[in-house]
């Protein structure tokens, strides 16, 4: 058979390359546009851009499948878009509009769509991974085959609750794929200044399960590693720790450059990582193999930009929440005697 001689990577590229590229482009364009809107003062607060890390969310969530339950982080836009959440209610959430996924009550750091299997985006490092372990527990208890994907970063890798959760997940044999997005910095602290080990994945051994570190700048590698990790989890009935080495091109949060007197990253570091840019790499491979013509790639990029712009228009035109909304969704079971605001 001819197919048997084709390298596995080429087969992956042909089968999934275009859709993976589209998702990565959407993340990049969404967060780039959101950054502009924040800088111009059109949206409030802060955003933590996912730009540079696109291969991780897209590769992991494509590999984990649509059924996986996902614990997301403060840098979560990429996870949602990789999962297929819609740009319109996401952008509306950044605007604090009633049409946002969380009715404007969550904001950038907490955008969630439970119907997409997103368990919440958490601004406390390590917290969502610990909650994802609980979701995996519930799935195991109800004999479902769903797994949980727990995203965290190199910063949260040193958070106590995460270690407790890895131990619990191992002791109770829970189907959790821990994914460390090592983007090299915990705010300003270099990963190797905060971590006792070179590879976060090596810590899995301390909890009695397997781990692996991979190139987080290559979506096909991340995808393949995720599929392999899930196979390992099924045979071992144990969690798995996948570390993706990646890089955020922007600051920890979007306005960082404006307030930091001294940059904490070497000048040439970003350009070194940019040379491994996951989008440029996948694009180049698709073109080199002739799987997609240049014009189609250009059109795709245009489509993605239009989709983001459509989300911006939607968000701008959506009505703000009424003031009464500040007092709803506090409790699921309402009874007399709850605090003043509750209706």
**155 touching another protein, by CB under 8 A:** no
**191 touching another protein, by CB under 8 A:** no
**124 touching another protein, by CB under 8 A:** yes
Q: How far apart are CA 125 and CA 75, in angstroms?
A: 10
**206 touching another protein, by CB under 8 A:** no
Between the CA atoms of 23, 57, 46 and 324, what dihedral angle is there, to the nearest 10 degrees?
80
- In terms of DSSP H, where are the helices of the chain? 8-39, 54-64, 77-83, 87-94, 127-141, 160-171, 191-194, 219-236, 256-259, 269-274, 278-288, 294-317
312: buried, middle or exposed (CB in 10 Å: 19+, 13-18, 0-12)? buried
Query: Which among 226, 298, 177, 303 has a CA at the least distance from the CA of 16?
Result: 226
Partners of 210 in the beta sheet? 240
**266 touching another protein, by CB under 8 A:** no
Q: Residue 320 Cβ, how far from another protein at the closest point, in Å?
A: 14
**8 touching another protein, by CB under 8 A:** no
Q: How far apart are CA 112 and CA 158, in angstroms?
A: 25
**7 touching another protein, by CB under 8 A:** no
**165 touching another protein, by CB under 8 A:** yes
Please identify which residue in 43, 51, 149, 168 interacts with another protein, judged by CB under 8 A.
168
Toward another protein, which CB reaches closer, 37 or 135?
135
Q: Residue 250 Cβ, how far from another protein at the closest point, in Å?
A: 24
Q: Map the footprint of another protein across residues 42-81, applying CB under 8 A.
A: 69, 71
Written as six digits, the tokens of 4 are 């048997």
Q: Map the footprint of another protein across residues 85-104, applying CB under 8 A.
A: 100-104
Toward another protein, which CB reaches closer, 103 or 212?
103
Residue with tokens 């602290």: 189
Please identify which residue in 39, 138, 205, 280 interacts with another protein, judged by CB under 8 A.
138
Residues that bind another protein (CB under 8 A): 69, 71, 100-106, 110, 112-115, 119-120, 122, 124, 127, 130-139, 141-142, 148, 160-161, 164-165, 167-168, 171-172, 328-333, 335-339
């Amino acid at each position: 058979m001819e197919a048997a001689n084709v390298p596995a990577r080429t087969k992956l590229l042909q089968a999934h390359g275009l859709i993976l590229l589209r998702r990565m482009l959407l993340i990049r364009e969404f967060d780039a546009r959101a950054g502009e809107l924040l800088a111009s003062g059109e949206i409030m607060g802060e955003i933590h851009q996912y730009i540079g890390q696109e291969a991780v969310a897209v590769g992991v969530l494509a590999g984990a499948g649509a059924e996986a339950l996902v614990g997301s982080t403060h840098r979560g836009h990429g996870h949602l878009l990789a999962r297929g959440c819609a740009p319109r209610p996401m952008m509306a959430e950044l605007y604090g509009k009633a049409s946002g996924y969380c009715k404007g009550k969550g904001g950038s750091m907490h955008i969630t769509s439970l119907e997409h299997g997103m368990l919440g985006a958490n601004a406390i490092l390590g917290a969502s991974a610990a909650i994802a372990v609980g979701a995996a527990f519930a799935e195991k208890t109800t004999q479902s085959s769903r797994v949980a994907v727990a995203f965290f970063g190199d910063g949260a890798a040193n958070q106590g609750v995460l270690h407790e959760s890895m131990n619990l997940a191992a002791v109770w044999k829970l189907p959790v794929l821990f994914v460390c997005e090592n983007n090299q910095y915990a705010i300003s602290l270099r990963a190797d200044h905060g971590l006792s080990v070179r590879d976060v994945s090596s810590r899995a051994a301390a909890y009695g399960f397997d781990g692996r570190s991979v190139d987080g700048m290559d979506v096909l590698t991340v995808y393949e590693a995720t599929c392999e990790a899930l196979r390992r989890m099924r045979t071992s009935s144990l969690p798995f720790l996948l570390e993706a080495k990646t890089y955020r091109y922007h600051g920890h949060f979007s306005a960082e450059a404006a307030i930091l007197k001294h940059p904490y990253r070497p000048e040439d570091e970003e350009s070194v990582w940019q040379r491994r840019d996951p989008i440029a790499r996948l694009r180049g491979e698709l073109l080199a193999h002739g799987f997609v013509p240049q014009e189609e790639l250009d059109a795709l990029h245009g489509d993605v930009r239009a989709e983001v712009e459509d989300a911006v228009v939607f968000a701008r035109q959506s009505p703000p929440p009424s003031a009464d909304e500040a007092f709803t969704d506090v409790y699921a079971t309402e009874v007399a005697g709850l605090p003043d605001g509750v209706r």
